[in-house]
Homo-oligomer: A and B are copies of this chain.
Amino acid sequence: MNDPLPAAPMPDTIANDLALAIHEHRLMPGTKLSEEELGEIYGVSRTIIRAALQRLAHDRLVELKRNRGAYVAQPTVREAREVFEARALLEPRTARSAAERITEDDLAALQRHIDEEHAAIDDGEAGRALFLSGQFHLEIARIADQATITEFITQLVARSSLIIALYWHRRGALCESHAHHALMRAFAERDADLAEELMKNHLLDLLSSLDLRNRTSAPASLREALGA
């Protein structure tokens, strides 16, 4: 009798699917996204695919080159810095708000996220672990109950995934787990100051774990071409 969900439109479904693949590093930066090929994969016409690609391009996950097609974006060094500066501006204050408002249910949900992340790491599913790591940040934004800021963070987290694909250096496995656990404790104790500070440092750590010396965006596509 009731259809509260109007059934997600096709283009958004596909866009989300592609975004997930990008987030999990199954689609690497520079990969060409042919309209016809995607159309066959999803069993729809290019019309739908184009809409999905346009949406992803707006989120900077895909770069649309006129008359040349769509490619998984390759953020520049500068863009990488800017994304993390924007996150540093938004997320610590968001973590503070979340700590002030968090409920027991929220805490449980966050803990589940962390557990899932660990499970993915143990199973060797690095891509999925990275995605869940991003979801942890998003969950915090959601708890802060600021939809507009949450959307910005969503976009920044997704772009961070691309940046990590291109510039990740440290190979430490549980690099983030520690930071997320510390945040969890701060939330559990409703320590807003601590949560804000931990998030700030966490983002600085993330940034410093990247190798942002140079990269003209050419090497990445070359590696793609040669590797696969």
Contacts of A66 in B (CB 8 A): 6, 9
Is A86 an interface residue when CB atoms closer than 8 A count as contact? yes
Q: How far is the CA of A82 from the CA of B55 in the complex (A)?
A: 23
Q: Which of A105-113, A126-134, A142-150 contacts B (4 or more CB under 8 A)?
A: A142-150
Q: Is the CB of A86 within 8 A of B149?
A: yes
What CA separation (Å) do A55 and B50 show in the bound complex? 12
Q: A55 contacts which chain B residues (CB < 8 A)?
A: 54, 58
CB contacts (< 8 Å) of A6 on chain B: these are 66
Residues in B neighbouring A146, C-beta threshold 8 A: 82, 85-86
Q: Does A89 contact B (CB under 8 A)?
A: yes
Which of B9, B58, B86, B93 has a CB less than 8 Å from the CB of A152? B86
Q: A89 contacts which of B50, B51, B85, B90 (Cβ < 8 Å)?
A: B90
| CB atoms of B147 and A82 under 8 A apart | yes
Report A30 CB to chain B, min CB distance, Å. Answer: 20
Write out the residue numbers on chain B whose beta carbons fall within 8 Å of the beta carbon of A9: 66
Determine if A85 and B54 form an interchain contact, defined as CB atoms under 8 angstroms apart.
no
Oligomer copy total:
2
Give the docked Cα–Cα distance between A6 and B68 (Å): 12
Report chain B residues within 8 Å CB of A78.
147
Question: What is the interface residue range for chain A against chain B?
Answer: 20 to 34
* Bound CA span A79–B148, Å: 7
Annotate A59-95 by CB proximity to B: 1 below 8 A, 0 otherwise.
0000000100000000000110011011001100100
CB distance from A147 to the nearest CB of B (A): 6
Closest to A64 in B: B9
Question: Which of A51, A85, A89 has most B Cβ within 10 Å?
Answer: A89
Residues 165 to 180 of chain A near chain B (Cβ within 8 Å): none
Q: Are B149 and A82 in contact (CB under 8 A)?
A: yes
In the assembled complex, 17 residue pairs joining A and B whose CB atoms fall closer than 8 Å, in A order, are A6-B66, A9-B66, A50-B51, A51-B51, A51-B54, A54-B55, A55-B58, A78-B147, A79-B147, A82-B146, A82-B147, A82-B149, A85-B146, A85-B149, A86-B149, A86-B152, A148-B156
The 9 closest A-B pairs by CB, nearest first: A82-B148, A58-B58, A86-B148, A86-B149, A6-B66, A82-B146, A152-B152, A83-B148, A89-B93
